[in-house]
Amino acid sequence: MNFCSECGEKVNREIPQGDNRLRDVCNNCHLIHYENPKVVTGCIPEWENKILLCKRAIEPRYGLWTLPAGFMENGESNREGAVRETVEEANAKLTNMTLFSVFSIAHINQIYTMYRGELVGGKASAGIESLEVALVEEKEIPWEEIAFKVIEENLKLYYQDKATGTFTTHYGELLKLDNERFEVNYF
Amino acid sequence: MNFCSECGEKVNREIPQGDNRLRDVCNNCHLIHYENPKVVTGCIPEWENKILLCKRAIEPRYGLWTLPAGFMENGESNREGAVRETVEEANAKLTNMTLFSVFSIAHINQIYTMYRGELVGGKASAGIESLEVALVEEKEIPWEEIAFKVIEENLKLYYQDKATGTFTTHYGELLKLDNERFEVNYF
């Protein structure tokens, strides 16, 4: 941030009075510009013994498989955001949604919330951000072609819970160790 | 938002190509300024048969009781944010934290995440944003003096779960009906 979004003057990087962090501060209109983590919200759409995956038509991770998810918008609930993303990426309707996981990914300032939801009628097709969609059983999951670590973790947890017959809500933290490796801790 | 925070030119409120929502768009440097919900994170600190409440020393809701909670910062996990807020507001340390609830409050563009955590040594004192802190049993909860509806709901859920002996992670949505009344739905 270089300029104050309210008055247009240059901002200063400084610690405001009573604070202990560097912020972008406008010394003209005295606004403090806070920056906060963003929420990504999505779903594991379920149909009979299968779940819905989407093949990405956009970067990053073009051509790899993911679950419907995207940045939550103002004015919608967390659950409604997951519904919207599933419409956009897979032309698919969801019902009976329950919160399945919350992941914190501090190095990219993101919270990832994922729901389980029933895919209405088992119907889906590729939206504009997907090359194709597929309803797959566990043995068909392309584990080596999953777009994001957080999605891989959700899929692992999903099949662990499914095996026990009891789904719970998980909280995990992803730490990036290097370009290839992550540490995952559950609390 | 009036000015582009990158280049300082006036922004336009328009729907970018390929989008379906009004955004603040800079037609000089072509940056689209997205606005997204913010995350508030906090904790129900537990000690023996009591929990820790804080009496607010700041507006809004000066003088009313709440749980330690505040806006999540960049660079920290959701759980770490709850730990930090509990230090700031109650000079208290937490351990053994588990995610207790996620609330969506769409009309103010907030997600509220609350943990249960063990209050180390049962020790706490008022931080700068608190007038006082108190360890209270269920029968001592000042239900008529709780600062926020989302906190009241968390306390209700907490004692419901405690009564059954099984704590789960809850997801709820708060809808504001008017200045006095909320609708709460659980999924």
Count CB-CB contacts under 10 A for residue B132. Answer: 12
Point out the residue among B11, B36, B77 whose CB comes nearest to the CB of A38.
Answer: B36
Predicted local confidence at residue A179, as pLDDT: 86
Of B3, B21, B74, the CB nearest to A37: B74
Least Cα distance to A135 among A29, A52, A62 occurs for A52
Dump pLDDT digits (tens) for B41-63: 999 999 999 999 999 999 999 99
Given an 8 Å threshold on Cβ–Cβ distance, is B36 in contact with A34? Answer: no
pLDDT score of B172 more than 90: yes
Structure tokens at A157: 């947890």
- Residue B49 burial by CB count (10 A; 0-12/13-18/19+): exposed, middle or buried? exposed
Closest residue of chain A to B72, computed from CA coordinates: A36
Mean local confidence (pLDDT), B75-82: 98
- The shortest CB-CB distance from A35 to any of B7, B74, B113 is to B74
> What's the pLDDT at A144?
97
Nearest CA in chain A to B9: A8
Residue of B nearest to A18 (CA): B128
Tokens read off for A183 = 């540490």
Cite the DSSP H helix spans in A12-131.
Answer: 78-90
Tell me if B72 and A102 make a contact (CB, 8 A cut-off): no
Q: Are B83 and B48 in contact (CB under 8 A)?
A: no
- The number of residues making up chain B comes to 187
Query: How many Cα neighbours within 13 Å face the side chain of A15?
Result: 4
Q: Which residue type is seen at B72?
A: M
Which pair of tokens denotes residue A67?
């679950």
Are the Cβ atoms of A102 and B111 closer than 8 angstroms? Answer: no
Whether B80 and A187 lie within 8 Å, measured CB to CB: no
Residue with the two structure tokens 């940045």: A71
Coil vs helix vs strand at B110: strand
In the numeric block, which tokens belong to residue B149? 């509806």
Candidates A90, A52, A50, A46; CA nearest to A70 is: A90
**Residues in chain A where the model's pLDDT stays below 70:** none
Nearest CA in chain B to A95: B187
Q: Residue A1 has what DSSP assignment?
A: -
Residue B5 to residue A5, Cβ atoms within 8 A: yes
Q: CB A111 to CB B78 under 8 A?
A: yes
Cβ-nearest to A36 among B11, B39, B79? B39
B180 pLDDT above the threshold of 90: no
Residue A119 has a pLDDT of 98
Q: Name the pTM for this structure.
A: 0.95
Q: Cβ contacts of residue B111 below 8 Å, gap of 6+?
A: A39, A72, A78, A111, A113, B37, B38, B39, B40, B102, B103, B104, B105
CB of B130 closer than 8 Å to CB of B64: no
Q: B80 vs chain A: nearest CA distance in angstroms?
A: 10
Query: Count H helices, E strands: chain B?
Result: 2, 12
From the list B104, B99, B54, the residue with the least C-alpha distance to B79 is B99
What are the chain B neighbours of A75 within 8 Å (beta carbons)? 106, 109
pLDDT tens-digit series, residues B111-158: 999 999 999 999 999 999 999 999 999 999 999 999 999 999 999 999
A3 vs B3: CB contact, 8 Å cut-off? Answer: yes
Instruction: Look at B106 and A76 and tell me if their CB atoms are within 8 Å.
Output: yes
What pLDDT does B18 receive? 87
* pLDDT at residue A18 in the model: 87
A68 close to A138: Cβ distance less than 8 angstroms: no
| Residues of chain B contacting residue A6, judged by C-beta atoms under 8 Å apart | 1-3
**Cβ-nearest to A102 among B80, B113, B128:** B113
Do the Cβ atoms of B5 and A7 come within 8 Å? no
Q: What value of ipTM does the predicted structure carry?
A: 0.95
pLDDT of residue B179: 86
Nearest to A98 among B6, B76, B187 (CB): B187
